[in-house]
């Protein structure tokens, strides 16, 4: 099955900075382009870090306050995060401000994989890199959400073609496929019980699907058969092994 790739929704015209880009220039870039963060790249266009508005605010918040006692008379904080913040208090360049290692995604990865990476690392954007790990774009949460604007008719057509016809070798109308607001309902009877999880799994993987409602029944219960049995030969078995 073909899924939309990160490269199809990313922004190719990337605003980036170098390690030595001055603090004020970084702030100007964020303000001018109305963005909340940017990647930092080296001489080979490889991403070495990311600077966000938060990094700039930490720098300002950690800067010495003339109304406070000198830091040597104040209680030292030893928490790793505190030490990291203090190191940014005197940062003058993007390289000193940036957070690293950067969380990136390859342009050939699926939109679902990009969404998972964002959720796992709690970031709002991902630098997109090519096979040589060079920066080629950037993708944001808003970009990834575009897949859920896909019309229901398009989703239904793909379920029928990719799941029913090509994977399960069924006639296009063998199963009733209803889609409303991205929720797919599969209603009907398949030949074998083992085909039910395949149909559900493949449908969930289709771009734009929010959820799948299972109303499938089966004619033959093949759950007791061994994978080597002739009855289980075919394209469906490949999907069973992947589940």
Complete domains list, the chain, with CATH = 6-147 (3.10.580.10), 150-220 (3.30.1340.30)
pLDDT band for position 106 (50/70/90)?
Answer: very high
pLDDT level of residue 231 (50, 70, 90 thresholds): very low
pLDDT digits (tens, 9 = 90+) for 116-174: 899 899 999 999 999 999 999 999 998 988 888 889 999 999 999 999 999 999 999 99
For the chain, how are helix, strand and coil distributed in percent, rounded to 5? 40, 25, 35
Report the C-alpha gap between 156 and 159 in whole angstroms: 5
pLDDT score recorded for residue 17: 97
DSSP symbol at 161? I
Q: Mean pLDDT, to the nearest integer, of 99-121? A: 91
Length of the chain: 243
């Amino acid at each position: 099955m073909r899924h939309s790739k990160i490269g199809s929704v990313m922004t190719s015209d990337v605003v980036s900075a170098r390690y030595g880009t001055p603090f004020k220039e970084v702030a100007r870039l964020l303000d001018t382009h109305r963005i909340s963060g940017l990647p930092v790249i080296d001489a080979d266009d490889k991403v070495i870090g990311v600077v966000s508005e938060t990094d700039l605010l930490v720098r300002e918040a950690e800067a010495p306050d003339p109304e406070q006692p000198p830091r040597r008379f104040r209680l030292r904080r030893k928490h790793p995060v505190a030490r990291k913040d203090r190191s940014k208090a005197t940062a003058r360049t993007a390289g000193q401000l940036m957070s690293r290692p950067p969380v990136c995604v390859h342009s050939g990865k699926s939109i679902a994989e990009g969404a998972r990476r964002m959720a796992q690392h709690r970031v709002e954007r991902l630098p997109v890199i090519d096979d040589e790990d060079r920066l080629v774009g950037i993708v944001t949460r808003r970009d990834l959400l575009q897949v859920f604007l896909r019309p229901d008719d398009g989703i239904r057509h793909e379920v029928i073609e990719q799941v029913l016809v090509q994977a399960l070798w069924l006639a296009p109308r063998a199963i009733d496929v209803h889609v409303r607001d991205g929720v797919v309902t599969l209603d009907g009877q398949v030949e074998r019980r083992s085909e039910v999880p395949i149909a559900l799994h493949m449908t969930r993987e289709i771009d734009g699907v929010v959820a799948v409602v299972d109303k499938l029944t089966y004619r033959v219960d093949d759950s007791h058969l061994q994978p080597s049995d002739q009855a289980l030969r075919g394209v469906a078995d490949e999907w069973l092994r992947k589940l």
